Amino acid sequence: MAIGKYSKHGCPDFKPGSLCTEIRPGDMTTTFSNILSRTLLASLLLASAAAHSQALPVVDLPTPGNNGEPSGGSDTLARFLEALKPGVDTSLPPSASETAAEIAHLLDSGNTSEAMERIEQRLAEESARNDPGVDVQLQFLYARALQASGQTEQAMNIYREMTGNYPELPEPWNNLAALYWRAGKLDLAEDALSMALNADPGYALAWANLGDLRLAQSARALERARALGLRGLDGRISAVQSLSSPEVQP
């Protein structure tokens, strides 16, 4: 059945199946006003959206790479996180790395007692926080402070503990070698230096110490030969001793 739109004003050209399109003059004015109003409103909305799109920054988040890690997106993420950083509050206590740098400077400057005070203060703070973790850097500095203050056995115990727990760290091995050397245990010192170089083949100080250690071993062997009656070794012994360092450098 054909359905037509009913108009009480009549539709003289109405045919079944069509819509009556009769528009009176008053209706035309109203319709034109509505269209104009909607057009102006749409223009204002588009202008507002364009202004907002220029004012707001666009942040490109990193896209996953083949291995699930961001590929080429680390810089973008770093910039994004940089914008979220809080301001620096100088009233905050120093971080662990800042404290370690301060203590290391004190030890390097020969201020052993002051360094020990800072270490004990830091250890007390960690104990009060009930922190189950271990500050490896602070532990190493504590051993250095003990070593510098002449508490050799305590320092050696810490270095041994560190080499057992963190064998990949070359510094405890090197410092343990220094204490073995002072105790006259050259073979143990050589073993410790070898472990330091296994951990880090680029550790220059351990290489230098190993060279000095082997010179000391050479001098000791020559002295032993002279003690057994072999003559003509005085010059060689003096030459070797002049080249070698008195001890391994921590």
Residue 78 inside a domain? The answer is no
pTM for the complete prediction? 0.59
Residue 135 inside a domain? The answer is yes
| Per-residue model confidence (pLDDT) at position 233 | 93
Where is the domain boundary, 150, 178, 213? 150
Q: What gap in Å lies between CA 99 and CA 92, rounded to an integer?
A: 13
Average pLDDT, the chain: 73
Instruction: Work out whether the CA dihedral 161, 163, 166, 171 comes out positive or negative.
Output: positive
**Residue from 184, 96, 106 nearest 145 by CA:** 106
Amino acid at 125: E
Where is the domain boundary, 150, 178, 193? 150
Residue 66 inside a domain? The answer is no
Q: Are residues 180 and 250 in the same domain?
A: yes
pLDDT digits (tens, 9 = 90+) for 54-93: 443 433 333 334 443 433 444 544 443 343 333 333 344 5
Assess contact for 62 and 70: CB atoms under 8 A: yes
| Per-residue model confidence (pLDDT) at position 128 | 84
| Per-residue model confidence (pLDDT) at position 194 | 97
Give me the CATH number covering residue 239: 1.25.40
Phi and psi torsions of 157, nearest 5°: -60, -40
Residue 21 inside a domain? The answer is no
Cβ neighbours around 65 below 10 Å, total: 11
Q: What gap in Å lies between CA 7 and CA 21, rounded to an integer?
A: 9
Domain count, the chain: 2
Residue 8 inside a domain? The answer is no
| Per-residue model confidence (pLDDT) at position 228 | 96
Residue 70 inside a domain? The answer is no
Give 86-110 as a 3 state SS string: CCCCCCCCCCHHHHHHHHHHHHHCC
Residue 193 inside a domain? The answer is yes
Q: Is 187 exposed, middle or buried (0-12, 13-18, 19+ CB in 10 A)?
A: exposed
Which of 67-76, 130-139, 222-231 tops mean pLDDT?
222-231
Q: What is the DSSP string of the chain?
A: -------TT--TT--TTS------HHHHHHHHHHHHHHHHHHHHHHHHHHHHHHHS----PPPB-TTSSBSS-HHHHHHHHHHTPPPP-TTSPPPHHHHHHHHHHHHHTT-HHHHHHHHHHHHHHHHHTT--S--HHHHHHHHHHHHHTT-HHHHHHHHHHHHHH-TT-HHHHHHHHHHHHHTT-HHHHHHHHHHHHHH-TT-HHHHHHHHHHHHHHHHHHHHHHHHTT--S-HHHHHHHHHHS-SS---
Range of the domain at 109: 95-150
| Per-residue model confidence (pLDDT) at position 48 | 52
pLDDT digits (tens, 9 = 90+) for 187-202: 999 999 999 999 999 9
Q: Are residues 184 and 139 in the same domain?
A: no
Query: Looking at the predicted structure, is the pLDDT value of residue 142 above 50?
Result: yes
Q: Which of 73-87, 177-191, 231-245 has the lowest mean pLDDT?
A: 73-87
Residue 174 inside a domain? The answer is yes
Q: Are residues 142 and 176 in the same domain?
A: no
